């Protein structure tokens, strides 16, 4: 299995090569040259597998250059009860109104990003040691992604992580989660500035080709193919859990931002998993909802990107969306490149002529929610089911309830736990709530913290890295 770029100007690459890549050199995103097709017998056989056995079967179709026994060991070391809290890894429950919730947030940072990042941590270490390479990850975070990356890469041989965060701008919980890590290969850097300043520093260091080369600088962003691949697995696991036989269909509702999560659902469906509809749920940052309703894609300006109470979905453009459009346009890379040239020019594009195919052939529909909807959904689910939903998951449940058709089974993906967003739960409840927290995180805020505070300067960060790496 080789990988190609959505822009068509990158030589085909192997799985191991793609694993360590971000954007393709031509600016596109990497995808397998074709999607493996799962026949009825295989699907039947997979129904009874454990999560890690299923992950092995699916990933081995895509990771041809990793020997089977090594891949098996990688997934067995990744998807354990010790890391994800239950032996089923992504347990499912049903709300009083019949909507099913698939729990993807029982990993170390209480958000679904652990599902893929934990695999990536093991896979990076494996590929680097096999090739005698080292990797120094730099990243900027306002919370979620950075902590998922640190928890995935802590203690991994051959890897250092330098994670920039805005000094004094994260919640006490988020700070404690990242800064309490004592592993020698994890380096937290608090920048005296905003999140955008952190991102600019990362870009500046990435664009310094000599530095990048000398220090093997890499990133772990949401366009990494390994993350998408790991996410395909839980769509299969969720389908099996929600159905009694493979003649049934299931729809998935996915709280979405960068389109990474639901892109994996799209690929599972292309592989032949009986998914009826893929429901995109956005918050006030509704660039995707607009596309799936009208066929027009209009990335937002900074002034029209809102800070919301489901902050991990606050995006102006959806980086993984290009993968879907590539498939929609029958993999015509010339057309994809020309559409994204228009995006770069600040114009966006119009594919409204394709709306019937988007709905019928690809099963996509969408909806969005606002702050008041989110609070109302959190309150309503607490009343009917006695549990607190995280605000992102609440966006999903709101849209699922709105779009559900008679007889349709909808699985809503739980992308974080409420414990991570205690202030929003308090606001929804109208009083302080002690949201239950996994036992492992009791007293997290009292642990000693380790962070270097630096001025808003790429040079200062570079010096610290050079000093650390020797």
Site map for ligand PLP, 128-157, x if CB under 6 A? ----------------x-------------
Contact between 177 and ligand PLP per CB under 6 A: no
Which lies closer to ligand PLP via its Cβ, residue 193 or residue 265?
265
For residue 414, give the 3-state DSSP assignment. Answer: strand
Which lies closer to ligand PLP via its Cβ, residue 6 or residue 312?
312
> How many other C-beta atoms are found inside a 10 Å radius of the C-beta of residue 112?
30
SS3 content of the chain, % helix, strand, coil (to 5): 45, 15, 40
Residue range at the interface with ligand PLP (CB under 6 A); choices 22-30, 253-261, 298-306, 349-357: 253-261
- The footprint of ligand PLP on this chain (CB under 6 A) covers a number of residues equal to 16
13, 100, 113, 420: which one is catalytic?
A: 113
Residues 6 or more apart whose CB falls under 8 angstroms from that of 58 comprise 229, 232, 233, 236
Contact between 116 and ligand PLP per CB under 6 A: no
Smallest distance from ligand PLP to CB 1, Å:
23
Smallest distance from ligand PLP to CB 390, Å:
7
Smallest distance from ligand PLP to CB 146, Å:
11
Residue range at the interface with ligand PLP (CB under 6 A); choices 64-72, 169-177, 255-263, 430-438: 255-263
The 10 Å CB-count burial string (b at 16+, else e) for 55-86 is bbbbbbbbbeebeeeebbebbebbbeeeebbe
- Distances from the Cα of 156 to the Cαs of 246, 257, 284, 416, in angstroms? 39, 29, 38, 25
The 10 Å CB-count burial string (b at 16+, else e) for 201-239 is bbeebeeeeebeeebbbbbbbbbbbbbbbbbbbbbbbbb
Smallest distance from ligand PLP to CB 11, Å:
28
Q: Which stretches within 95-190 are classed as H helix?
A: 113-131, 144-153, 172-179
Q: Is 398 an active-site residue?
A: no
Contact between 111 and ligand PLP per CB under 6 A: yes
Distance CA 340, CA 62 (A): 27
SS (H, E, C) 4-26: EECCCCCCCECHHHHHCCCCCCC
Contact between 10 and ligand PLP per CB under 6 A: no
> How many other C-beta atoms are found inside a 10 Å radius of the C-beta of residue 342?
13
| Gap between the terminal Cα atoms of the chain | 38
Contact between 416 and ligand PLP per CB under 6 A: yes
In the set 255, 265, 299, 367, which binds ligand PLP (CB under 6 A)? 255
Residue range at the interface with ligand PLP (CB under 6 A); choices 250-258, 398-406, 424-432, 446-454: 250-258
Site map for ligand PLP, 313-352, x if CB under 6 A? x---------------------------------------
Residue range at the interface with ligand PLP (CB under 6 A); choices 92-100, 178-186, 259-267, 452-460: 259-267
Closest CA to 110 of 456, 423, 439, 420: 420
In the set 72, 277, 392, 401, which binds ligand PLP (CB under 6 A)? 392
Contact between 118 and ligand PLP per CB under 6 A: no
Smallest distance from ligand PLP to CB 106, Å:
13
Which lies closer to ligand PLP via its Cβ, residue 126 or residue 321?
321
The 10 Å CB-count burial string (b at 16+, else e) for 417-441 is bbbbbbebbebbeeeeeebebeeeb
Span 423-462, contacts to ligand PLP by CB under 6 A: none
Catalytic residues: 113
Q: Binding residues for ligand PLP, per CB under 6 A?
A: 111, 113, 144, 222, 255-261, 312-313, 392, 415-416
């Amino acid at each position: 299995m080789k990988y190609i770029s959505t822009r068509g100007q990158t030589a085909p690459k192997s799985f191991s090569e793609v694993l360590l890549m971000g954007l393709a050199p031509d600016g596109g995103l990497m995808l397998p040259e074709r999607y493996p097709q799962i026949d009825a017998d295989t699907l039947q056989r997979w129904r009874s597998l454990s999560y890690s056995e299923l992950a092995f079967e699916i990933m081995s179709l895509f990771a041809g250059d990793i020997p089977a026994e090594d891949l098996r060991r990688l997934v067995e070391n990744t998807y354990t009860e010790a890391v994800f809290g239950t032996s089923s890894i992504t347990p499912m429950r049903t709300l009083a109104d019949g909507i099913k919730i698939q729990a993807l947030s029982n990993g170390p940072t209480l958000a679904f990003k652990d599902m893929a990042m934990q695999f990536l941590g093991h896979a990076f270490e494996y590929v680097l040691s096999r090739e005698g390479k080292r990797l120094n990850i730099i990243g900027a975070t306002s919370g979620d992604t950075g902590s998922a990356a640190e928890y995935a890469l802590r203690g991994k041989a051959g890897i250092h992580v330098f994670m920039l965060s805005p000094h004094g701008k994260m919640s006490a919980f988020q700070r404690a989660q990242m800064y309490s890590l004592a592993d020698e290969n994890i380096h937290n850097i608090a920048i005296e500035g905003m999140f955008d300043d952190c991102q600019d520093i990362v870009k500046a260091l990435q664009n310094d080709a000599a530095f990048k080369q000398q220090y093997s600088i890499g990133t772990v962003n949401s366009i990494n193919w390994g993350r998408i691949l790991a996410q395909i697995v839980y769509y299969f696991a969720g389908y099996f859990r929600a159905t009694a036989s493979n003649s049934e269909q299931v729809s998935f509702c996915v709280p979405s931002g960068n389109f990474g999560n639901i892109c994996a659902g799209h690929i599972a469906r292309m592989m032949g998993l009986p998914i009826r509809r893929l429901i995109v749920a956005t918050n006030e940052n509704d660039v995707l909802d607009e596309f799936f309703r009208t066929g027009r894609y209009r990335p937002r300006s900074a002034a029209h990107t809102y800070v919301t109470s489901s902050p991990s979905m606050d995006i102006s453009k959806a980086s993984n969306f290009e993968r879907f459009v590539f498939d929609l346009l029958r993999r015509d890379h010339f057309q994809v490149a020309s559409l994204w040239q228009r995006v770069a020019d600040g114009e966006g594009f119009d594919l409204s002529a394709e709306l019937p195919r988007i709905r019928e052939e690809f099963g996509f529909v969408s909806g969005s929610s606002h702050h008041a909807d989110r609070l109302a959904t959190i309150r309503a689910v607490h009343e009917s089911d006695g549990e607190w939903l995280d605000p992102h998951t609440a966006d999903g449940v709101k849209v699922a309830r709105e779009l559900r058709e008679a007889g349709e089974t909808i699985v809503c993906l739980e992308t974080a736990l409420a414990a991570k967003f205690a202030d929003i739960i308090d606001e929804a409840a109208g009083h302080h709530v002690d949201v239950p927290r996994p036992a492992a995180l009791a007293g997290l805020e009292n642990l000693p913290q380790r962070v270097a505070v630096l001025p808003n300067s790429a040079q200062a960060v570079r010096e610290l890295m050079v000093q650390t790496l020797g």
